[in-house]
Structure 1
Amino acid sequence: MTTEHRESGWEDREVGVGPWQGDWPEGDHWDPTLLAEGDRRNVADHYRYWTVEAIVADLDTKRHPLHIAIENWQHDFNIGTVVRTANAFNVAGVHIIGRRRWNRRGAMVTDKYMHVHHHPTVEDFVNWANAESLPILGVDLFPDSVPIETFEFPESCVMVFGQEGPGLSEEIHEAAEATLSIAQYGSTRSINAGSAAGIAMHCWIRQHGAAVR
Protein backbone atom coordinates (compact mmCIF):
# COMPACT_ATOMS: atom_id res chain seq x y z
CA MET A 1 0.00 0.00 0.00
CA THR A 2 1.40 3.43 -0.93
CA THR A 3 1.98 6.35 1.45
CA GLU A 4 -0.72 8.29 -0.42
CA HIS A 5 -3.26 5.57 0.29
CA ARG A 6 -2.37 5.46 3.98
CA GLU A 7 -2.58 9.24 4.34
CA SER A 8 -5.94 9.41 2.55
CA GLY A 9 -7.48 6.74 4.74
CA TRP A 10 -8.03 4.52 1.72
CA GLU A 11 -7.21 1.38 3.71
CA ASP A 12 -10.04 2.19 6.15
CA ARG A 13 -12.74 2.48 3.50
CA GLU A 14 -15.48 -0.07 4.03
CA VAL A 15 -17.07 -1.95 1.16
CA GLY A 16 -20.84 -2.34 1.15
CA VAL A 17 -23.20 -1.42 3.96
CA GLY A 18 -23.60 -2.25 7.62
CA PRO A 19 -26.59 -3.74 9.44
CA TRP A 20 -30.02 -2.47 8.38
CA GLN A 21 -31.12 0.53 10.43
CA GLY A 22 -34.74 0.68 11.62
CA ASP A 23 -37.57 -1.75 11.03
CA TRP A 24 -36.68 -4.58 8.70
CA PRO A 25 -38.32 -4.55 5.24
CA GLU A 26 -40.78 -7.28 4.31
CA GLY A 27 -40.39 -9.66 1.38
CA ASP A 28 -38.93 -13.04 0.54
CA HIS A 29 -36.00 -11.52 -1.34
CA TRP A 30 -34.41 -10.08 1.80
CA ASP A 31 -31.66 -12.07 3.55
CA PRO A 32 -32.11 -11.98 7.37
CA THR A 33 -28.41 -12.59 8.00
CA LEU A 34 -27.36 -9.72 5.76
CA LEU A 35 -29.96 -7.42 7.29
CA ALA A 36 -28.60 -8.21 10.74
CA GLU A 37 -24.87 -8.22 9.98
CA GLY A 38 -24.48 -6.00 6.92
CA ASP A 39 -23.83 -6.69 3.25
CA ARG A 40 -20.17 -6.47 2.18
CA ARG A 41 -20.57 -8.34 -1.11
CA ASN A 42 -19.53 -6.97 -4.47
CA VAL A 43 -23.07 -6.40 -5.72
CA ALA A 44 -24.88 -3.40 -7.19
CA ASP A 45 -26.48 -1.14 -4.59
CA HIS A 46 -30.04 -2.09 -5.57
CA TYR A 47 -29.23 -5.70 -4.65
CA ARG A 48 -28.00 -4.91 -1.15
CA TYR A 49 -29.40 -7.31 1.48
CA TRP A 50 -30.98 -9.55 -1.19
CA THR A 51 -30.47 -13.31 -1.14
CA VAL A 52 -28.34 -14.83 -3.90
CA GLU A 53 -31.38 -16.71 -5.19
CA ALA A 54 -33.42 -13.51 -5.42
CA ILE A 55 -30.64 -11.72 -7.30
CA VAL A 56 -30.32 -14.58 -9.80
CA ALA A 57 -34.09 -14.64 -10.30
CA ASP A 58 -34.15 -10.91 -10.98
CA LEU A 59 -31.19 -11.12 -13.38
CA ASP A 60 -32.98 -13.92 -15.22
CA THR A 61 -35.77 -11.51 -16.15
CA LYS A 62 -33.38 -9.30 -18.12
CA ARG A 63 -30.48 -11.41 -19.34
CA HIS A 64 -29.12 -10.69 -22.80
CA PRO A 65 -29.53 -13.41 -25.47
CA LEU A 66 -25.74 -13.73 -25.68
CA HIS A 67 -23.91 -16.86 -24.51
CA ILE A 68 -20.19 -17.13 -23.83
CA ALA A 69 -18.14 -20.32 -24.17
CA ILE A 70 -14.54 -21.01 -23.18
CA GLU A 71 -12.42 -23.98 -24.16
CA ASN A 72 -10.69 -25.46 -21.10
CA TRP A 73 -8.31 -28.23 -22.16
CA GLN A 74 -5.34 -27.17 -20.01
CA HIS A 75 -7.01 -25.55 -16.97
CA ASP A 76 -6.96 -21.97 -18.24
CA PHE A 77 -6.67 -19.39 -15.45
CA ASN A 78 -8.44 -16.75 -17.57
CA ILE A 79 -11.83 -18.41 -17.20
CA GLY A 80 -12.59 -16.65 -13.92
CA THR A 81 -12.01 -13.27 -15.55
CA VAL A 82 -14.26 -14.22 -18.48
CA VAL A 83 -17.03 -15.29 -16.09
CA ARG A 84 -16.76 -12.06 -14.12
CA THR A 85 -17.06 -10.00 -17.31
CA ALA A 86 -19.97 -12.13 -18.49
CA ASN A 87 -21.72 -11.32 -15.22
CA ALA A 88 -21.11 -7.61 -15.75
CA PHE A 89 -22.86 -7.80 -19.13
CA ASN A 90 -25.54 -10.18 -17.76
CA VAL A 91 -25.23 -12.76 -20.51
CA ALA A 92 -27.63 -15.69 -20.72
CA GLY A 93 -25.06 -18.35 -19.88
CA VAL A 94 -21.41 -19.31 -19.68
CA HIS A 95 -20.27 -22.63 -21.16
CA ILE A 96 -17.10 -24.48 -20.24
CA ILE A 97 -15.91 -26.84 -22.98
CA GLY A 98 -13.46 -29.55 -21.96
CA ARG A 99 -12.31 -29.92 -18.37
CA ARG A 100 -15.06 -29.32 -15.83
CA ARG A 101 -12.78 -27.88 -13.17
CA TRP A 102 -11.63 -24.28 -13.50
CA ASN A 103 -10.02 -21.72 -11.20
CA ARG A 104 -12.84 -19.65 -9.72
CA ARG A 105 -10.66 -17.10 -7.95
CA GLY A 106 -10.74 -14.64 -10.84
CA ALA A 107 -14.54 -14.79 -10.96
CA MET A 108 -14.73 -13.05 -7.56
CA VAL A 109 -17.85 -15.07 -6.62
CA THR A 110 -19.75 -13.78 -9.68
CA ASP A 111 -20.28 -17.36 -10.88
CA LYS A 112 -22.95 -17.64 -8.15
CA TYR A 113 -25.09 -15.23 -10.15
CA MET A 114 -24.51 -16.92 -13.53
CA HIS A 115 -25.77 -20.04 -15.26
CA VAL A 116 -22.56 -22.00 -15.89
CA HIS A 117 -22.83 -25.11 -18.08
CA HIS A 118 -20.30 -27.82 -18.88
CA HIS A 119 -19.75 -29.57 -22.21
CA PRO A 120 -17.19 -32.39 -22.12
CA THR A 121 -16.47 -32.23 -25.86
CA VAL A 122 -16.72 -29.78 -28.72
CA GLU A 123 -19.25 -32.09 -30.36
CA ASP A 124 -21.49 -31.92 -27.30
CA PHE A 125 -21.25 -28.12 -27.29
CA VAL A 126 -21.97 -27.82 -31.02
CA ASN A 127 -24.98 -30.10 -30.70
CA TRP A 128 -26.32 -27.91 -27.88
CA ALA A 129 -25.81 -24.71 -29.89
CA ASN A 130 -27.52 -26.21 -32.94
CA ALA A 131 -30.45 -27.41 -30.83
CA GLU A 132 -30.83 -23.87 -29.47
CA SER A 133 -30.47 -22.33 -32.97
CA LEU A 134 -27.54 -20.25 -31.75
CA PRO A 135 -24.90 -19.23 -34.30
CA ILE A 136 -21.38 -20.05 -33.09
CA LEU A 137 -18.88 -17.22 -33.40
CA GLY A 138 -15.22 -17.85 -32.67
CA VAL A 139 -12.90 -15.09 -31.51
CA ASP A 140 -9.32 -15.66 -32.61
CA LEU A 141 -6.76 -14.83 -35.27
CA PHE A 142 -7.28 -17.07 -38.30
CA PRO A 143 -6.61 -16.29 -41.97
CA ASP A 144 -10.36 -16.17 -42.55
CA SER A 145 -11.19 -14.06 -39.48
CA VAL A 146 -13.17 -10.87 -40.05
CA PRO A 147 -12.75 -7.63 -38.06
CA ILE A 148 -14.92 -7.62 -34.97
CA GLU A 149 -15.09 -3.83 -35.14
CA THR A 150 -17.29 -3.91 -38.24
CA PHE A 151 -19.05 -7.25 -37.75
CA GLU A 152 -22.84 -7.23 -37.51
CA PHE A 153 -23.70 -9.52 -34.63
CA PRO A 154 -26.87 -11.61 -34.61
CA GLU A 155 -28.96 -10.73 -31.58
CA SER A 156 -28.82 -14.29 -30.26
CA CYS A 157 -25.49 -16.10 -30.53
CA VAL A 158 -22.69 -17.80 -28.62
CA MET A 159 -19.14 -16.45 -28.75
CA VAL A 160 -16.35 -18.93 -28.12
CA PHE A 161 -12.90 -18.13 -26.77
CA GLY A 162 -9.86 -20.39 -26.81
CA GLN A 163 -7.49 -20.84 -23.93
CA GLU A 164 -4.38 -18.76 -23.48
CA GLY A 165 -1.64 -19.84 -25.86
CA PRO A 166 -3.21 -22.40 -28.25
CA GLY A 167 -6.32 -20.30 -28.89
CA LEU A 168 -9.41 -21.85 -30.44
CA SER A 169 -9.32 -25.48 -31.44
CA GLU A 170 -9.68 -26.37 -35.11
CA GLU A 171 -12.94 -28.15 -34.23
CA ILE A 172 -14.51 -24.90 -33.03
CA HIS A 173 -13.04 -23.05 -36.01
CA GLU A 174 -14.77 -25.46 -38.37
CA ALA A 175 -18.08 -25.30 -36.48
CA ALA A 176 -18.16 -21.50 -36.28
CA GLU A 177 -20.28 -19.49 -38.72
CA ALA A 178 -17.62 -16.80 -38.48
CA THR A 179 -14.38 -16.15 -36.63
CA LEU A 180 -13.68 -12.63 -35.46
CA SER A 181 -10.38 -10.84 -34.97
CA ILE A 182 -9.63 -7.86 -32.74
CA ALA A 183 -7.49 -5.14 -34.31
CA GLN A 184 -4.05 -4.81 -32.71
CA TYR A 185 -1.45 -2.11 -33.21
CA GLY A 186 1.50 -3.11 -31.04
CA SER A 187 4.25 -5.71 -31.29
CA THR A 188 2.51 -8.67 -29.67
CA ARG A 189 0.59 -11.15 -31.79
CA SER A 190 -2.22 -11.89 -29.35
CA ILE A 191 -4.33 -10.35 -26.60
CA ASN A 192 -4.86 -12.00 -23.22
CA ALA A 193 -7.91 -14.26 -23.47
CA GLY A 194 -9.70 -12.54 -20.59
CA SER A 195 -9.16 -9.11 -22.13
CA ALA A 196 -10.22 -10.31 -25.57
CA ALA A 197 -13.46 -11.67 -24.12
CA GLY A 198 -14.26 -8.32 -22.51
CA ILE A 199 -13.67 -6.45 -25.77
CA ALA A 200 -15.77 -8.91 -27.76
CA MET A 201 -18.68 -8.86 -25.31
CA HIS A 202 -18.75 -5.08 -25.36
CA CYS A 203 -18.82 -5.09 -29.17
CA TRP A 204 -22.00 -7.17 -28.96
CA ILE A 205 -23.40 -4.92 -26.21
CA ARG A 206 -22.91 -1.82 -28.35
CA GLN A 207 -25.21 -3.32 -30.99
CA HIS A 208 -27.79 -5.18 -28.92
CA GLY A 209 -27.36 -4.32 -25.23
CA ALA A 210 -30.34 -3.05 -23.29
CA ALA A 211 -30.08 0.58 -22.25
CA VAL A 212 -28.99 1.06 -18.64
CA ARG A 213 -31.74 2.72 -16.65
Structure 2
Amino acid sequence: MALLLPDGEPVSGRGPSPLAHAAALPLARRLVREGRDEGLVAHVVRYGGRGWNGPDARLAADAAWAASEVVRRYGDVPVCLVGRGMGGRAALRAAGHTAVNSVLALAPWLPEEDVAATPEPVKQLGGRHVLIVHGTNDERTDPELSYRLAERAKKANRDTCRFEVHSDGHALRDHHAEVVALACDFVLGALFGRPYSRPVADALAAPPPLGLRMPLAAGFARALRG
Protein backbone atom coordinates (compact mmCIF):
# COMPACT_ATOMS: atom_id res chain seq x y z
CA MET A 1 0.00 0.00 0.00
CA ALA A 2 1.26 3.45 -0.90
CA LEU A 3 -0.19 6.44 0.95
CA LEU A 4 0.51 9.73 -0.79
CA LEU A 5 0.68 12.80 1.42
CA PRO A 6 0.09 16.11 -0.40
CA ASP A 7 1.90 19.35 0.34
CA GLY A 8 0.61 21.65 3.05
CA GLU A 9 1.49 24.84 4.92
CA PRO A 10 3.45 25.51 8.11
CA VAL A 11 0.54 27.31 9.77
CA SER A 12 -3.04 27.45 8.55
CA GLY A 13 -6.58 27.07 9.80
CA ARG A 14 -7.92 26.50 6.30
CA GLY A 15 -9.24 23.22 4.97
CA PRO A 16 -7.17 20.85 2.82
CA SER A 17 -5.94 22.15 -0.52
CA PRO A 18 -7.72 20.65 -3.56
CA LEU A 19 -4.75 21.69 -5.72
CA ALA A 20 -2.24 19.86 -3.53
CA HIS A 21 -4.47 16.79 -3.51
CA ALA A 22 -4.79 16.88 -7.30
CA ALA A 23 -1.02 17.28 -7.68
CA ALA A 24 -0.47 13.95 -5.87
CA LEU A 25 -2.80 11.96 -8.11
CA PRO A 26 -0.51 11.42 -11.14
CA LEU A 27 2.20 9.75 -9.05
CA ALA A 28 -0.43 7.60 -7.30
CA ARG A 29 -1.74 6.42 -10.66
CA ARG A 30 1.76 5.73 -11.96
CA LEU A 31 2.63 3.67 -8.89
CA VAL A 32 -0.53 1.59 -9.32
CA ARG A 33 0.28 1.03 -12.99
CA GLU A 34 3.87 0.00 -12.28
CA GLY A 35 2.84 -2.25 -9.37
CA ARG A 36 -0.16 -3.86 -11.04
CA ASP A 37 1.40 -7.34 -11.05
CA GLU A 38 1.89 -7.18 -7.27
CA GLY A 39 -1.56 -5.73 -6.66
CA LEU A 40 -0.30 -2.37 -5.43
CA VAL A 41 -3.00 -0.04 -4.11
CA ALA A 42 -2.37 3.70 -3.66
CA HIS A 43 -4.46 6.33 -1.92
CA VAL A 44 -3.99 10.08 -1.65
CA VAL A 45 -4.64 11.11 1.95
CA ARG A 46 -7.23 13.82 2.56
CA TYR A 47 -6.03 15.89 5.48
CA GLY A 48 -8.38 17.48 7.95
CA GLY A 49 -6.68 20.82 7.15
CA ARG A 50 -3.64 22.12 5.34
CA GLY A 51 -1.59 23.40 8.29
CA TRP A 52 1.15 21.60 10.23
CA ASN A 53 0.49 24.03 13.07
CA GLY A 54 3.51 23.68 15.33
CA PRO A 55 3.44 21.04 18.06
CA ASP A 56 0.03 19.83 16.85
CA ALA A 57 1.80 18.31 13.79
CA ARG A 58 -1.63 17.85 12.29
CA LEU A 59 -0.47 16.50 8.94
CA ALA A 60 1.64 13.82 10.61
CA ALA A 61 -1.32 12.88 12.79
CA ASP A 62 -3.48 12.56 9.68
CA ALA A 63 -0.82 10.38 8.04
CA ALA A 64 -0.71 8.07 11.08
CA TRP A 65 -4.51 7.89 11.07
CA ALA A 66 -4.45 6.92 7.40
CA ALA A 67 -1.94 4.14 8.11
CA SER A 68 -4.26 2.81 10.81
CA GLU A 69 -7.12 2.89 8.32
CA VAL A 70 -5.06 0.78 5.93
CA VAL A 71 -4.66 -1.85 8.65
CA ARG A 72 -8.38 -1.74 9.41
CA ARG A 73 -9.41 -2.07 5.77
CA TYR A 74 -6.68 -4.25 4.26
CA GLY A 75 -5.15 -6.12 7.16
CA ASP A 76 -1.45 -6.63 7.80
CA VAL A 77 0.06 -5.08 4.68
CA PRO A 78 3.23 -2.97 4.48
CA VAL A 79 2.75 0.75 3.91
CA CYS A 80 5.01 3.21 2.12
CA LEU A 81 4.41 6.86 3.00
CA VAL A 82 5.09 9.08 -0.02
CA GLY A 83 5.04 12.80 0.76
CA ARG A 84 5.88 16.03 -1.02
CA GLY A 85 6.86 19.29 0.67
CA MET A 86 5.06 19.49 3.99
CA GLY A 87 3.70 16.04 3.18
CA GLY A 88 7.30 14.86 3.08
CA ARG A 89 7.76 16.06 6.64
CA ALA A 90 4.55 14.29 7.61
CA ALA A 91 5.78 11.06 6.01
CA LEU A 92 9.08 11.21 7.89
CA ARG A 93 7.39 12.05 11.20
CA ALA A 94 4.68 9.36 10.92
CA ALA A 95 7.14 6.61 9.98
CA GLY A 96 6.96 5.15 13.47
CA HIS A 97 3.53 3.65 12.78
CA THR A 98 3.83 -0.13 12.97
CA ALA A 99 2.37 -0.63 9.48
CA VAL A 100 4.95 1.62 7.81
CA ASN A 101 7.98 -0.09 6.29
CA SER A 102 9.26 2.73 4.08
CA VAL A 103 9.22 6.47 3.48
CA LEU A 104 9.75 8.52 0.33
CA ALA A 105 10.07 12.26 0.99
CA LEU A 106 10.12 14.52 -2.07
CA ALA A 107 11.49 18.01 -1.41
CA PRO A 108 10.45 17.78 2.26
CA TRP A 109 9.73 21.00 4.14
CA LEU A 110 11.74 21.04 7.35
CA PRO A 111 12.11 23.76 9.99
CA GLU A 112 15.30 25.75 10.37
CA GLU A 113 17.35 23.93 12.96
CA ASP A 114 18.52 27.06 14.76
CA VAL A 115 14.98 28.27 15.44
CA ALA A 116 13.29 24.92 16.12
CA ALA A 117 12.64 24.14 19.77
CA THR A 118 13.96 20.61 19.28
CA PRO A 119 15.62 18.91 16.30
CA GLU A 120 13.33 17.11 13.89
CA PRO A 121 13.17 13.52 15.23
CA VAL A 122 14.72 10.59 13.36
CA LYS A 123 14.38 7.73 15.85
CA GLN A 124 11.04 6.72 14.30
CA LEU A 125 12.83 5.99 11.01
CA GLY A 126 14.64 3.00 12.48
CA GLY A 127 13.90 -0.24 10.63
CA ARG A 128 12.36 1.60 7.65
CA HIS A 129 13.67 2.07 4.14
CA VAL A 130 14.05 5.82 3.67
CA LEU A 131 14.61 7.82 0.48
CA ILE A 132 14.76 11.61 0.33
CA VAL A 133 14.81 13.40 -3.03
CA HIS A 134 15.57 17.13 -3.28
CA GLY A 135 16.29 19.61 -6.03
CA THR A 136 19.48 21.59 -5.48
CA ASN A 137 17.80 24.83 -6.65
CA ASP A 138 14.75 24.48 -4.40
CA GLU A 139 13.93 27.98 -3.14
CA ARG A 140 10.92 26.92 -1.08
CA THR A 141 12.33 24.08 1.02
CA ASP A 142 16.04 24.20 1.84
CA PRO A 143 17.82 21.11 0.46
CA GLU A 144 20.57 21.46 3.04
CA LEU A 145 18.05 20.87 5.81
CA SER A 146 16.99 17.57 4.28
CA TYR A 147 20.65 16.62 3.96
CA ARG A 148 21.28 17.32 7.64
CA LEU A 149 18.23 15.29 8.63
CA ALA A 150 19.35 12.43 6.37
CA GLU A 151 22.80 12.60 7.95
CA ARG A 152 21.32 12.15 11.42
CA ALA A 153 18.90 9.48 10.22
CA LYS A 154 21.71 7.47 8.59
CA LYS A 155 23.42 7.12 11.98
CA ALA A 156 20.31 5.46 13.39
CA ASN A 157 19.22 3.62 10.26
CA ARG A 158 21.62 2.43 7.56
CA ASP A 159 18.71 1.92 5.11
CA THR A 160 18.59 5.66 4.45
CA CYS A 161 19.64 7.42 1.26
CA ARG A 162 19.11 10.76 -0.43
CA PHE A 163 19.26 11.82 -4.07
CA GLU A 164 20.01 15.32 -5.31
CA VAL A 165 18.36 16.53 -8.50
CA HIS A 166 20.85 19.06 -9.78
CA SER A 167 19.50 22.38 -11.07
CA ASP A 168 15.89 21.41 -10.31
CA GLY A 169 13.47 23.36 -8.14
CA HIS A 170 10.81 22.53 -5.58
CA ALA A 171 8.35 20.95 -8.02
CA LEU A 172 11.07 18.73 -9.57
CA ARG A 173 9.60 19.45 -13.00
CA ASP A 174 12.81 19.69 -15.01
CA HIS A 175 13.68 16.05 -14.35
CA HIS A 176 10.16 14.78 -13.83
CA ALA A 177 10.61 11.47 -15.67
CA GLU A 178 13.71 10.59 -13.66
CA VAL A 179 12.08 11.49 -10.33
CA VAL A 180 8.98 9.40 -11.09
CA ALA A 181 11.10 6.44 -12.21
CA LEU A 182 13.16 6.72 -9.01
CA ALA A 183 9.99 6.87 -6.90
CA CYS A 184 8.54 3.76 -8.55
CA ASP A 185 11.81 1.87 -8.23
CA PHE A 186 12.04 2.63 -4.52
CA VAL A 187 8.39 2.07 -3.58
CA LEU A 188 8.10 -1.26 -5.41
CA GLY A 189 11.42 -2.41 -4.01
CA ALA A 190 10.51 -1.47 -0.45
CA LEU A 191 6.99 -2.93 -0.52
CA PHE A 192 7.46 -6.06 -2.62
CA GLY A 193 11.13 -6.89 -2.44
CA ARG A 194 11.89 -6.08 -6.05
CA PRO A 195 15.64 -5.58 -6.49
CA TYR A 196 16.48 -1.90 -6.31
CA SER A 197 18.14 -0.33 -9.33
CA ARG A 198 21.92 -0.07 -9.08
CA PRO A 199 21.90 3.67 -8.16
CA VAL A 200 19.44 3.12 -5.29
CA ALA A 201 21.28 0.05 -4.02
CA ASP A 202 24.58 1.93 -4.19
CA ALA A 203 23.12 4.94 -2.38
CA LEU A 204 21.78 2.77 0.44
CA ALA A 205 25.12 0.99 0.81
CA ALA A 206 27.36 4.06 0.57
CA PRO A 207 28.52 5.85 3.71
CA PRO A 208 27.83 9.57 4.19
CA PRO A 209 28.13 11.86 2.43
CA LEU A 210 28.16 9.79 -0.79
CA GLY A 211 24.87 7.99 -0.20
CA LEU A 212 23.18 11.19 0.90
CA ARG A 213 24.28 13.36 -2.03
CA MET A 214 23.71 10.82 -4.79
CA PRO A 215 23.08 12.65 -8.09
CA LEU A 216 20.00 11.59 -10.02
CA ALA A 217 21.34 10.90 -13.48
CA ALA A 218 19.53 12.41 -16.46
CA GLY A 219 19.17 8.98 -18.09
CA PHE A 220 17.79 7.16 -15.04
CA ALA A 221 14.29 6.65 -16.48
CA ARG A 222 15.63 5.40 -19.83
CA ALA A 223 18.03 3.04 -18.09
CA LEU A 224 15.20 1.40 -16.16
CA ARG A 225 13.11 0.97 -19.32
CA GLY A 226 16.09 -0.48 -21.15
- TM beyond 0.5: no
Q: Per the shorter chain, which TM-score range? A: 0.3 to 0.5
